[in-house]
């Protein structure tokens, strides 16, 4: 997907002086952060509050990609709206959500949508069917929107300067498909906002290829830095990735997580699993992991919740569950409708 699709499109575009922009979220068969990392301009989408879906997680994905891959511009398909918006939105009703997006790290609004209007005397004019916020010159308030446009332009320009400031780097798991969703402990309120500290997600490839340690902080090639690396709650990790984490810790990084037990890959099996166990022992210790362990110039903090053995499967009592799209109770045949 990455090599034969996205990178191929990027290569073809380069021949014609074009850059690649990607919204990597939604039914992506590979990792969102990995796929989006190919883009020159990573993008996301947020819908108008009350008129559509909750896709704010894609904003955290796109900003994370930009920060860890050194991309100065983060675009958003902004204020998408489902049927029912019906020309109700205006700059006053949209400003608070727009400010949220700016604070989240987005610095290029691509309004969904501005419809071409071929006539000069027809109002409200053409639409894109029932979809999208109606952001065009045929709006009754259009002549009064200059101040809002200037405000957005200035904010976006300023936010493309300098570096994002963040404390925590969440490493996403290896494998596919994979969506980066910040843990609930890092967010607050219905419109998800960072809870007193900033963070980014990071693809394994970005950590391996672009991260180092300086003055106790994990630093990326373009200057972004983080105080703490949080590992995914998975019991698998490839030797290559775990070796990189071990190197960062020895150089002075602080890491939170539980020891992986094996590799997710069969490459060089069973040696790969043994290598993972040895690397994990070097970070967390040979015996039961302790809450805090100094390794080299860095420190490893145990994620106690992730280190607990898995509980009983909550579906163990389910005799049979299968259903196509629709009602599962109707789809299950008689005498097979057992749920626990």
**Nearest in space to 245 (alpha carbons), one of 233, 182, 254, 235:** 254
- Is residue 42 scored above 90 in pLDDT? yes
The model's pLDDT over 181-232, given as tens digits with 9 standing for 90+, comes to: 999 999 998 889 888 889 999 999 999 999 999 999 999 999 999 999 999 9
Q: Say what the pLDDT of residue 330 is.
A: 53
Average of per-residue pLDDT values in the chain:
91
Three-state DSSP string of the chain:
CHHHHHHHHHHHHHCCCCCCEECCCCCCCCEHHHHHCCCCEEEEEEECCCCCCCCHHHHHHHHHHHHHHCCCCCEEEEEECCCCCCCCCCHHHHHHHHHHHHHHCCCEEEECCCCCCCCCCCCCCCCCCCCCCCCCCCCCCHHHCHHHHHHHHHHHHHHCCCCCCCCEEEECCCCCCECCCCCHHHEECCCCEECCCCEEEECHHHHHHHEEEECCEEEECCCCEECEEECCCCCECCHHHHHHHHHHHHCCCEEEECCCCECCCCCCCCHHHHHHHHHHHHHHCCCCCCCEEEECCEEEEECHHHHCCCCCCCCCCCCECCCCCCCHHHHCCCCCCECC
Q: Bridge partners of 203?
A: none
pTM, rounded to two decimals: 0.88
- Is residue 257 scored above 60 in pLDDT? yes
Q: What is the mean pLDDT of residues 121-132?
A: 91
- The region of weakest confidence among 122-131, 207-216, 315-324 is 315-324
- Is residue 313 scored above 70 in pLDDT? no
Confidence class of residue 304 from pLDDT cuts 50, 70 and 90? confident
What are the boundaries of each domain within the chain? 2-159, 168-307, 313-340
């Amino acid at each position: 997907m990455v090599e034969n699709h996205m990178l191929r499109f990027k290569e073809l575009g380069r021949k014609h002086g074009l850059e690649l922009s990607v919204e990597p979220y939604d039914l992506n068969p590979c990792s969102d952060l990995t796929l989006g990392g190919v883009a020159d301009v990573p993008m996301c989408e947020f819908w108008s509050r009350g008129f559509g879906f909750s896709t704010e997680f894609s904003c955290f994905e796109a900003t994370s990609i930009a920060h860890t891959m050194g991309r100065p511009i983060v675009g958003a398909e902004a204020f998408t709206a489902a049927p029912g918006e019906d020309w109700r939105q205006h700059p006053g009703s949209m400003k608070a959500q727009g400010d949220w997006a700016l604070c989240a790290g987005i610095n290029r609004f691509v309004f969904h949508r501005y419809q071409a209007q071929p006539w000069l005397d027809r109002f409200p004019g053409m639409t894109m069917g029932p979809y999208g916020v109606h952001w065009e010159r045929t709006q009754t308030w259009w002549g009064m929107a200059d101040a809002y446009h200037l405000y957005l332009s200035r904010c976006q320009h300023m936010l493309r300067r300098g570096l994002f400031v963040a404390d925590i780097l969440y490493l996403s798991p290896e494998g596919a498909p994979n969506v980066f969703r910040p843990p609930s402990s890092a967010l607050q309120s219905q419109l998800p906002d960072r809870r007193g500290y900033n963070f980014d997600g990071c693809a394994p490839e970005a950590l391996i290829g672009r991260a180092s340690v300086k003055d106790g902080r994990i630093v990326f090639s373009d200057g972004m830095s983080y105080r703490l690396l949080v590992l995914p709650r998975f019991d698998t990790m490839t030797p290559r990735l775990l070796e990189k984490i071990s190197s960062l810790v020895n150089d002075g990084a602080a890491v939170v997580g539980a020891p992986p037990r094996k590799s997710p890959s069969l490459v060089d099996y069973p040696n790969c699993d043994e290598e993972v166990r040895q690397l994990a022992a070097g970070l967390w210790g040979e015996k039961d992991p302790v809450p805090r362990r100094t390794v080299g110039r860095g420190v490893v903090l145990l994620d106690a919740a992730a280190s607990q053995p898995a509980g009983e499967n909550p579906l163990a009592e389910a005799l049979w569950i299968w259903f196509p799209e629709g009602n599962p109770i109707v789809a299950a045949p008689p005498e097979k409708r057992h749920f626990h």
